[in-house]
Structure 1
Amino acid sequence: MLRYVTTNSGKVREAREYLDAVEQLNYDYTEIQAAELGPIAVRGAREAYRHAGEPVLVDDAGLFVEGFDGFPGPYSAFVEHTLGIETVQRLVAREIDAPRRASFRCVLAYCDGDAFDASPDPVDREDRAAAAAVGADDDADDADDPLPVKLFTGSVRGRIVEPRGDGGFGYDPIFEHDGTTFAEMSAEAKNAVSHRGRAFAKFASWYQER
């Protein structure tokens, strides 16, 4: 059984579009402060595996606004809970001229206590750039903590707009991709293009063939 470590049931529903055997593990792992998503996900996966004693999957994701120094980036969850997405949208609208480009990025970190074959280098230019941007261009196997973690990344480009739509969660109402906000999309349509969906597609392909 694969445990998806999250308190967000919406993420679990999205994950089950790719893998049936996913169960939610409601565990609050220590979320370190870091400038990139990769180290946060890696630390969480190691801690969650040691807690659960079975295969775990942890994700960290963020909204990165161009021209805003990537804000809120790895602090997206904190900013959402303290300022709210409407405040973020207003700040961006006030400080940045249209089209107010942004990207959603996600890192999935898988840990089951075993070593892995190294992931091949990404062949797609955008995949390479996305992996480097989140600090996840290599699988995590280091001297400080030898517990191996395998990483999968996904990203999607869009722009910040006034809130529209009632679906999704988090920043979905203010993130527009190809003319539609994530909150206006069906779950299936969002999963097909989202940062998390793209990361899960890579993970599911590897997980089912490992």
Structure 2
Amino acid sequence: MSKPVVNFITGNANKLLEVRAILEPAGIEVRNQALDLPEVQGTVEDVTTEKCRAAAAAVGGPVLVEDTCLCFDALNGLPGPYIKWFMQSIGHVGLNNLLAAYDDKSAQAVATFGFCKGPGQEVLLFQGRTHGKIVPPRGPTTFGWDPCFEYEGQTYAEMDKVEKNKISHRFKALEKLRAWIEGGGIKE
């Protein structure tokens, strides 16, 4: 039996490393293509679904895409799917400043993967959430908002990569994808 293969559409080298570190030990080959895809406004599910449809049309075949959110409970889920733009605009310090007036610093890291078999096909979503809190940045600043998201006393940036990949929002979503693939999902 041949090894299952996914074509992960991302230009983010850190995301690609994490996805490979989580899926490849399960026997799933992760290929990669970087495409500039439009990001619509809406819920994380809307954003991921539309990104997946656009990628499947551009590639002309099966694709896997991901959208990551950072949802502040005090702000009713914002910045949510717009975290990339918030990071580019206000950075780690600005993220903390958004919550300065609130006692509630709780947040959810959310990863939503979309898989589509090709143009015009249904988009399947696999979502994982990790509950934590927003803190002043600690640890290396090499991967997005990881220095500001604390889970059980450590920020994602302070964690060993292997340990992070056992508890992260991305891991939880990819576990659902892996189970679907192992159940014959890609071959259906």
Normalising by the smaller structure, the TM-score range is 0.7 to 0.9
The aligned counterpart of 1:27 is: 35
Shift in Å at residue 16 of structure 1?
0.9
Q: TM-score, normalised by structure 1?
A: 0.79
Aligned to 1:104: 109
The question of whether the paired residues in 1 share the 8 Å contact of 2:63 and 2:118 is answered with no
Residues 144-183 of structure 1: CA distance to partner in whole angstroms, max 9, x if unpaired? xx52011101000001111111166111101100001000
For 2:101 and 2:31, locate their aligned partners in 1 and report how far apart those are by CA, in whole Å.
41
Query: Is the Cα–Cα contact under 8 Å of residues 106 and 155 in structure 1 kept in the other structure?
Result: yes
Gaps of 5+ in 1: 115-145
- Equivalence map 1:106-185=2 (5 Å): 106-113=111-118, 147-166=121-140, 169-185=143-159
Counterpart selection for 1:14 from 18, 26, 35: 18
Q: Which amino acid in structure 1 is aligned with residue 117 of structure 2?
A: D
**Fraction of identical pairs, as percent:** 34
Residue 164 of structure 2 aligns to a residue in which SS?
Answer: helix
Q: CA deviation at 1:68?
A: 1.7
Q: For residue 42 of structure 1, report the CA deviation from its aligned partner.
A: 0.7
Q: Match of 2:64?
A: 57
After superposition, the Cα gap between the structure-2 partners of 1:167 and 1:14, relative to the gap in structure 1 and judged at 3 Å, is farther
- The SS at the match of 1:184 is coil
Superposed displacement of residue 208, structure 1: 2.7
Which of 47, 62, 66 in structure 1 is aligned with 2:54?
47
Deviation at 1:104, TM superposition (A): 0.6
Per the alignment, residue 119 of structure 1 pairs with none
Matched with 1:188 is 162
Letter in 2 for 1:17: A
RMSD value over aligned CA atoms? 1.6
Query: What is the distance in 1 between the residues matched to 2:181 and 2:92?
Result: 34
- Partner Cα separation in structure 2 for residue 167 and residue 3 of structure 1: 28
| Residue ranges of structure 2 left out of the alignment (5+ in a row) | none
Deviating 4+ runs (over 3 angstroms): none
Query: 2-side partners of 1:161 and 1:154: how far apart?
Result: 21
Return the match for 1:68 from 43, 59, 75. Answer: 75
Distance of 1:163 and 1:51 partners within structure 2: 37
Q: Which amino acid aligns with 1:178?
A: E
Higher strand proportion:
2
Query: For the Cα contact (< 8 Å) 1:9–1:24, is it kept in 2?
Result: no
Q: CA shift at 1:191, angstroms?
A: 1.1
How far apart in 1 are the matches of 2:73 and 2:97?
Answer: 15
